[in-house]
Structure 1
Amino acid sequence: MPDRNAAALDFLLTRRSRPAQTLTTPVPDRETLREILTAAARSPDHGKLEPWRFLVLNDAALDRLAEACPAAAARLEIPQDKADKQRDRFAAADLAVVVVESPVASDKVPMVEQTYAVGGVCLALTNAALAAGFGANWLSGWASHDPSFVQEHLGLSASERVAGIIHIGTETSAPPDRPRPDLDAITTWVEA
């Protein structure tokens, strides 16, 4: 039997995202965040293309995004409650990392595999922040899916898109665990 990393396995079996609205300061300092980002960047990457990049948003940048939400919501005819929710999420945050899918032309690696790799980076970033002792939550929202908003306010190119916005901070309250999938209902053992 191979050596078992019991601590890592226990972490993965008990990990739990923390609701963004329960996160506050302190947030990771730059050195700690670099370590978290380094762990996230070790995600599987077919062809070593690195089809992602990170945008680290401090509270001032998040406030700027919150201020941009009402006009964008009006342009997109977003219902007021959804517009307010996105604005308030940006305004209340102290630190968030935007994981940008930045596709790379490749004859070897299909775009869909690059998308999957970027999703892996989002999960790895969330888990690395949790493992570092912080609360974290992988979110998106209507603003992150609007090409005009992300190009104007986050500087994305026309070929890029937001894969996730990972909110990171100190949790103020531990959430209860949520129901988990029934493994037997989603697993088929193929014997031959």
Structure 2
Amino acid sequence: MPDPNPAVLDYLATRRSPGAKTFTGPVPDRGQLMQILTLATRVPDHGKLEPWRLVVLERAAMARLADLAEKRARALNGDAEKIEKGRGQFDRGQLAVVVISSPKDAEKVPVAEQVLSAGALCMNIVHAATAAGWGACWLSGWPSHDAQFRALAFGCADHETVAGIIHIATPGPMAADRPRPDLSRLVSWG
């Protein structure tokens, strides 16, 4: 017989991601962040490969990455919107955890499962930070998907990608909830 956990069910039923643009200080200190990351790394990880790694961005790194994103956007002949989108999350960010998907060469564990483990880690960081009382927002943006930016910003090797950039800080005002999926359109029974 199941033993439900009403507090967790209520959390999941009401969870929303606050907009990172509304975040303010303070942010978690290193001890608090390590507690969040310790909880978050309890993810599906077939073969105990740890097919991901983490890069913590503090304020000084954010300023450097904002400049790097602008430089890269200009090299790509990006317009003002592309430059702003590239700089934006780093200009406004105070603390973020970059989850790097780093699949290992493992015969018994498909790369797809390793990549999904990195995605699960992103969601767990959001949940753990939120449970600890912080605002957490999972972003990416074009710089995350640009191989040259990833290499310069996060030291990504050719086989590595950015699964997400999780911004963590004091949440600002919560926006109205967004419409949720109509499960009658998306769920089939076989």
Taking structure 2 as the reference length, what is the TM-score of the superposition?
Answer: 0.96
The CA deviation at 1:86 is 2.1
Q: Which amino acid aligns with 2:119?
A: G
Give the corresponding residue for 2:171. Answer: 171
Q: Following the alignment from structure 1 to structure 2, what is the Cα–Cα distance between the partners of residues 59 and 11?
A: 30
The CA deviation at 1:39 is 1.6
**Where does 1:18-167 land on structure 2 (aligned, <5 Å)?**
18-167=18-167
- Tell me if the contact between 2:100 and 2:164 (Cα under 8 Å) persists in the aligned partners: yes
- Tell me if the contact between 2:73 and 2:86 (Cα under 8 Å) persists in the aligned partners: no
The 10-residue stretch of structure 1 (84-93 or 18-27) with the greater mean CA deviation from structure 2: 84-93
SS at match of 1:163: strand
- Tell me if the contact between 1:24 and 1:93 (Cα under 8 Å) persists in the aligned partners: no
SS at match of 1:24: coil
Q: Following the alignment from structure 2 to structure 1, what is the Cα–Cα distance between the partners of residues 54 and 123?
A: 14
SS at match of 1:171: coil
Q: Following the alignment from structure 1 to structure 2, what is the Cα–Cα distance between the partners of residues 8 and 111?
A: 31
Q: Following the alignment from structure 1 to structure 2, what is the Cα–Cα distance between the partners of residues 99 and 153?
A: 13
Q: Please, which runs of 5 or more residues in structure 1 have no aligned partner?
A: none
Taking structure 1 as the reference length, what is the TM-score of the superposition?
Answer: 0.95
The 10-residue stretch of structure 1 (80-89 or 111-120) with the greater mean CA deviation from structure 2: 80-89
Q: Following the alignment from structure 1 to structure 2, what is the Cα–Cα distance between the partners of residues 187 and 158?
A: 37
The CA deviation at 1:54 is 0.7
The 10-residue stretch of structure 1 (176-185 or 79-88) with the greater mean CA deviation from structure 2: 79-88
Identity %: 51
Q: Which amino acid aligns with 1:27?
A: V
Describe the superposition over 1:129-159 as per-residue Cα deviations: whole angstroms up to 9, x where unpaired: 1111111111111111111111112222222
The CA deviation at 1:78 is 2.5
Q: Following the alignment from structure 2 to structure 1, what is the Cα–Cα distance between the partners of residues 115 and 77?
A: 28
Structure 1 ranges of 4+ moved more than 3 A:
none
